Structure 1
C-alpha cells in the first residue's frame, strides 16, 4: 500500500512537473526568443527608430560595436552568462553585416530558478506526504492482520483471537480461522483419544496372550514341535505390544514426550535376531557393522519400531545377496542388494498405503510412513537412495547422538 501511494504521488507530481517545465519553456520562447526575433526584424527595417531599443528594453550592436564575447557566436539565438548576468542573444546578418540583439534576462532566470526550486520542494513534499498517508493507511489495514497472525501463532485459546467482533473483512477472516482451528483441534483430539483408547484396550489381551504363551512354552518342553508354535505366538504378541506402545507414543505431542538415553547397538542386534525367521529359505545374509558405540536421546519404543520396519522391509523385498545394517556416529543405514524401487514409487515412498511394487500384494504400505512419522516426532530425518549394487539404501539420520 505504501508503494502504491508513492507510485500514485510520483505519477501525479511528475505529470504536473512535466507540465510546468513545458509551460516555462513556452513562456521563455514566447517572451524572449520571439521578442528578439521581432526586434531583429525592426532593426533590419528601413523605418528603424534608434529610440525604440530603449522602450523595448533591448540592446543592439552592429558591426564593430558587437562586444568580443559575442563575436564568437554563430547565427541564431543563444543563452550565456556574461559578467554575472544572464543574457539571451540573437546573432543575425543584414546587408552583409552582422548585428546582435541582447536581452538581459537575469530577473527572469532568477524567477525561473525559484520556480524550479519550489517545484522540487513540492515534489519531495508530495512523496513524503504519500509515504505518511500510505504508512498510516497500511497500518490501519495491516495491523489487525498482523495481530491476528500473531495470535494464531501463539495458539491462543478459542475465543481469544482479536477481531472476532469486527464487522469488516478482518472479522470475517478471524471468525473463519477460529472455526477452522476449532475443527482441527477437535479432529486432533479425537485422533489422540482413539489412539490412546485402542492402545489401552489392546494392552490387556496382549498381556494375557504373552502370559499364556509363556505358560504353554514351559509346559510343552517335551514337545519341540509345539514349542515352535507357542514361541511364534509369543513373539508376534510381543511385537504387537511393542507397536501398540509406539503408536501411543506417536499420539503424544513431541514436546511432551519423555526422552531417555538409548544405546543403539544392542537395540539393532536384538532386531537383527528377531528378523532371522524372515531369512529362512533365502540365500540371504543379514550383516551388522558398527564403528562405535552410539547412544541417543530418544524414545526406545519409537527407535525400535523405526529400525524394525526398515529391516523387515529389506528382508521382505530382498530374495538373495546381503543386507547390511551400518551404525555410525550420526546415522543408521539399512542397505540391501534387491531389485530396487521403480521410479514412479520413489517420490511417494513415505506416503501412506504406497507399496514398493505394483505387483506386491503383501503388506499394507504403512511401514515406511510410520518410519517417517517416528523420525519427524524425534526430530530426525529419513531418506532413500539407490544402493551401489542396485538395491535400496535407507538412512535414518539423527543429530543428537
Structure 2
C-alpha cells in the first residue's frame, strides 16, 4: 500500500537520488581537498628531512628587480600587477606585493623544486581521480535505477498482469486477475480499478452475446424449419399452376429468411472459439449461390458467364463466405437493368470477381460502396464488408466502363 501518489513518489525518488549523490560528491571533494593539503605538507617535510641538519629556505623575499634570480628579471621589469604567478619551467611561485607608500613592488618567491610531484605522479593521480569519478557515476546510475524502479513498481506490476490477458479471447474471469487491492488509491490504483471494471463489463457482454446467439439461433431457426417442412408437404399434393407459383415464392422467401438469419447471427457472434473456421472449396459455394439466386434472371435477356480458372481452397467461415457471395450475386442479378446485358463470374486462385453491366451516367466512373448503397445499387454491401473484415478477406467494389466490379480476395 502506498501513501503517496505516483507523481509524488517519482518526485520524492528523484529528490532522494539527487540528495544522496550530492552528499557523496561533497564528501569526495572534501576528501580530495584534504588529501591535497596533506600531500603538500608531506612533501615539504620530506624535502626538509632530505637536507637535515641544514634546513632549506624555500621562501625568499626580494625588494627590487636587480636582486631577483636571472630567470625572473625580464618578467619583473614589465611591472606586473599585484598577485600570484606561477612559472612551471623554473618551478617557482611568485607573489607580487606593494610594501611602501611609493607603491614599489616587492617579490616573494617560493621555490617548489622537490616539493611538487613529478609529471608521472600527476598522471597517476589523474587516473585515480578519473576512476573515482567513474565509480561515483556508476554508483549514481545504479542508485537512480533502484530508486526509480521502486517508485514505478506498481505500474510495472499492473503492466505484467494486463499483458497476460489475451484480448482476442476474453473471459468473464479476466477481471479477477487484477487484484485492485494491491495498487492502493493513487493513479495506478484508479487505472487498475478502471481496467478491471472494463474487463468485467466486456466479459459480461461476451456471456450475454453467447447466450443471445445460442438462444436466437434455436428460436429463429425453429419456425424456418417448420415452414420448410410445410412447403415440402404441400409440394406432394396436387396443386394448380397458380398455386405452384405461390408455393415457389414461399420457398424462395423462406430461403431468403434463412440466409438473412444466418447472416445476422454470423455478425452478432463476437467469439466462436474457432469452431467455424475450416478449409473449404470456393467453387461449390459459388455454384450453390448462383442456383439459389437464378430465379431473379427470369424474364431477363441476360447472359450469365461463369469461368472457373482455378479450384481454390481457402480458410475461414464457410457460411460467412456463402452469405457474402449470395449478396454479391443477388446484387448483380437484381440491378442489371439493361435489356441486353452480360454478367460474368471469374473464379481465380486467390480471388472471386463478379461483373455486371449497369445503366449509369458518364460522370459516375468511380463510385464508393457508401454511394452505391445510397443509390440502391447494392443490398447488404455494408454487411458484406464486415463479413470480409471478420474473416480477413479483401473486398472492393468499383465501376469500370459502365460495369460494376465486385472483388473478393483471400
State the secondary structure of the residue aligned to 1:255.
coil
Which ranges of structure 2 fall in alignment gaps of 5 or more residues? 1-5, 37-60, 75-84, 95-109
Cα contact 2:172–2:204 (8 A) shared by 1 = no
Which residue of 64, 70, 80 corresponds with 1:45? 64
CA displacement 1:222-272 (0-9 Å, x = unmatched): 42x432222121022023223324544553733241455533223212212
Q: What residue number does 2:178 align with? A: 162
Deviates more, 1:354-363 or 1:185-194: 354-363
State the secondary structure of the residue aligned to 2:257.
helix
Residue 200 of structure 1 and its aligned partner are, at CA, apart by 1.7
State the secondary structure of the residue aligned to 1:257.
coil
- Following superposition of structure 1 onto structure 2, how do residues 187-226 of structure 1 map, counting pairs within 5 Å? 187-219=205-237, 221-223=239-241, 225-226=242-243
Cα contact 1:259–1:297 (8 A) shared by 2 = yes
Which ranges of structure 1 fall in alignment gaps of 5 or more residues? 28-41, 51-59, 66-75, 91-100
In 2, distance between residues paired with 1:181 and 1:141?
19
In 1, distance between residues paired with 2:299 and 2:349?
34
Which residue of 350, 365, 375 corresponds with 1:330? 350
In 2, distance between residues paired with 1:264 and 1:332?
9
Q: What residue number does 2:143 align with? A: 129
State the secondary structure of the residue aligned to 2:374.
coil
Does 2:400 match 1:382?
A: no
Residue 326 of structure 1 and its aligned partner are, at CA, apart by 1.8
State the secondary structure of the residue aligned to 1:319.
coil
Deviates more, 1:114-123 or 1:227-236: 114-123
In 1, distance between residues paired with 2:288 and 2:343?
16
In 1, distance between residues paired with 2:333 and 2:389?
24
- Following superposition of structure 1 onto structure 2, how do residues 265-344 of structure 1 map, counting pairs within 5 Å? 265-280=283-298, 284-320=302-338, 321-338=341-358, 339=360
Residue 387 of structure 1 and its aligned partner are, at CA, apart by 4.8
State the secondary structure of the residue aligned to 2:349.
coil
Seen in structure 2, the aligned counterparts of structure 1 residues 119 and 284 have a Cα distance that, compared at 3 Å, is same
Q: What residue number does 1:230 align with? A: 247
CA displacement 1:117-145 (0-9 Å, x = unmatched): 5334323332232233333433x233321
Does 2:388 match 1:371?
A: no
CA displacement 1:162-204 (0-9 Å, x = unmatched): 3322333344333322222222222333333333333322223
How many aligned residue pairs are there?
342
CA displacement 1:14-58 (0-9 Å, x = unmatched): 9x99xx8xx99xx9xxxxxxxxxxxxxx8793473x6xxxxxxxx
Q: What residue number does 1:147 align with? A: 160
Deviates more, 1:109-118 or 1:310-319: 109-118
State the secondary structure of the residue aligned to 1:292.
coil
CA displacement 1:348-398 (0-9 Å, x = unmatched): x4xxxx5634343985xxx23433443344x33132153543654333333
Seen in structure 2, the aligned counterparts of structure 1 residues 257 and 11 have a Cα distance that, compared at 3 Å, is same
Residue 293 of structure 1 and its aligned partner are, at CA, apart by 2.3
In 2, distance between residues paired with 1:173 and 1:8?
27
Seen in structure 2, the aligned counterparts of structure 1 residues 158 and 295 have a Cα distance that, compared at 3 Å, is closer
Cα contact 2:277–2:317 (8 A) shared by 1 = yes
Q: TM-score, normalised by structure 1?
A: 0.64
Q: What residue number does 2:259 align with? A: 242
